[in-house]
Structure 1
Amino acid sequence: MSTARRRQLGSWLTKLRNQAGCSVEDSAERLGCSTSKIRHLEAGRSKIKKVELTKLLDLYEASDEVRAQLDETRKQAEERGWWSSYRLPEWFEPYVEFESTAVEVANFELDLIPGLLQTEEYAREIHRAGRYDTDPRDIDRRVKARMTRQNRLSSDPPLQLRAVVSEAAFHRQVGGPDVMKEQITHIIEQCQRPNVILQLLPYEAGAHASPSGTFVILSFPDQEESIGFLDTPLGGHTVDDEDEVSALRYLFDELRSVALSAPASLDRLRRLVQAD
């Protein structure tokens, strides 16, 4: 079952309950269950049956449009996503699920090129280096999954990508000079898309707002709450606390403010390619 879909459905149920002025106790009474079950449903930790969803939406006096949308989300939560056959790390699958329905990605990277902009050879080298959490037999699957994720950039409607990337990522010789030249050229080409904006955080910017790590903020349609994602050497985890996601958005805005403009960033990348 899709963890991301369950969490989206749970978020909607929480919002509808609050809008209806109902308490967790009211919802539990309607279903004839414990309050802990309602909390699990709203946190996306438990599966909800169609009859349970109907009873809650009756209590919240949801519109027909909302009912149809949430029942469709419930059905989708039962389906296996395209990524399930790629043997992705367990901690990463929820992120890919969220990304598949997002409308915008805001991504800050310190030492690596954002996954949505990586070439196949660059991605392969990254996975080869990550032997700790990538079985060598899974490298091809992981690379193919990354390439498939990139289809969102050319879908209709396309995913909006806003990236701030440290200059160090473009000087790190992942796979050697030829791989990096191809990678930077690919980024320049991708940035011709109106939905892709990359800003380079230059060395001369000095100390900045996020020296200790990379992060992503995913935004969704219909004013759903945004989700954050933090990457670590041993994996990553989603952030759905509203205050924490707001803090990440503030950090991203701070980083954008000290990064080069998009045109200036592309000029610097072109000079890097020409220098080679």
Structure 2
Amino acid sequence: MATDDPQVVLIQLGIMLRRLREATGLPASAAAAHLGCSPAKISKMENGKQRIQPDEVSSLLELYGADDSATAEALRLAAVPKPRRRGTYRDSVPDWFRRFLVLESEATELLIYEYEVVTGLLQTKNYARTLLEAGSPLASHRELDQQVEMRMNRTSILTKEGALVSVVLHEAALHRVIGGNDVMREQLDHLQKLTELPNLQLHVLPFRPAATPNKDEAFIAKAAFVLLKLESTGAVVYVEDVAAANYPEDANVIQAYATAFQRLRTASLPVDESAKLIGRVAKQYSER
């Protein structure tokens, strides 16, 4: 993700420093001792919650034995100045969502479960604008344009080399009308076209799923979630609610979400049958 938003850059830098440290096998306490600070400060740095001075970055890069390429990139990120005023990117993205944008852009695999609306990566402009306007009724046209543009830019991961996106979309999302019949028909037509992408596996969880040996058809996930897999840092879970988001870090919790996704996908229709169901529902919007 190419951006000069200072908060996003801070998150990117923190992730990079954590990867370099873990690659050496050093604990956070060793990095803290090297800088003469507390492990808590290292944790805040690596999580993008505290600004890192360029000299601190240089010192850590030396400790980690970073190569020239990593050193140049880390120092470039560290040199991005604090904003004097809020820029357009900051205006369009809530603070709690920026970390997700960075993780999403760097993920090699995304496992997404959504039950009420079409997930953001698969939305059309009109569908996205309707949802964003409903979520921010006081936003100006300019702000909405920025938010829609940002959401559309995220879709590049669907064609990113080496990335895989697997989505389980509950059938309810196909029937809940967002923006009227024309918007819905456009959105479902778009979903059908997306099923042809080699990097995307789109499964629909039908209202009447077939029976499975483990009773997966009766398994319920009470919240939408995203499981992101990154090469160097493993899996991260993202769970969004009305006002913010959570990133569970406990390995057992992450495994529980991974298992939940597998069960939901097992109960879902295969990709080709999912596309056919989407097509049948799309026709209904033309007939109404």
For the criterion TM > 0.5, the same-fold answer is yes
Look up the match of 1:30.
Answer: 34
Q: Aligned equivalents of 2:243 and 2:266: distance in 1?
A: 30
Q: Aligned equivalents of 1:59 and 1:107: distance in 2?
A: 37
SS in 1 for 2:269: coil
SS in 2 for 1:204: coil
Question: Which residue among 100, 112, 128 is the counterpart of 2:105?
Answer: 100
Look up the match of 1:202.
Answer: 206
Look up the match of 1:9.
Answer: 16
Q: Aligned pair count?
A: 265
Q: Aligned equivalents of 1:246 and 1:83: distance in 2?
A: 37
Residues 6, 45 of structure 1: 8 Å contact kept: no
SS in 1 for 2:198: coil
For structure 1, which segment, 116-125 or 242-251, has the greater mean C-alpha deviation from structure 2 after superposition? 242-251
**1:218 counterpart = 2:228:** yes
Look up the match of 2:96.
Answer: 91
List alignment gaps of at least 5 residues for structure 1.
none
Question: Which residue among 167, 171, 178 is the counterpart of 1:163?
Answer: 167
Look up the match of 1:178.
Answer: 182
Deviation at 1:69, TM superposition (A): 2.4
List alignment gaps of at least 5 residues for structure 2.
1-5, 82-86, 210-216
SS in 1 for 2:234: coil
Look up the match of 1:192.
Answer: 196
Residues 200, 259 of structure 1: 8 Å contact kept: yes
Residues 89, 146 of structure 2: 8 Å contact kept: no
C-alpha change, 1:243 and 1:51, in structure 2 (3 Å) is farther
**1:41 counterpart = 2:52:** no
Look up the match of 2:213.
Answer: none
Matches within 5 A, 1:126-137: 126-131=131-136, 135-137=139-141
Q: Aligned equivalents of 1:218 and 1:87: distance in 2?
A: 23
Please report the RMSD computed on the Cα atoms of aligned residues, expressed in angstroms: 2.8
Amino acid at match of 1:218: L
Look up the match of 2:252.
Answer: 243
Deviations along 1:31-87, one digit per CA (max 9) or x if unpaired, are 233343333334443333444344445445x363xx63265245336559x982652
TM-score, structure 2 normalization: 0.79
Deviation at 1:14, TM superposition (A): 4.8
C-alpha change, 1:131 and 1:85, in structure 2 (3 Å) is closer
Q: Aligned equivalents of 2:59 and 2:136: distance in 1?
A: 49
SS in 2 for 1:200: strand
Amino acid at match of 1:30: H
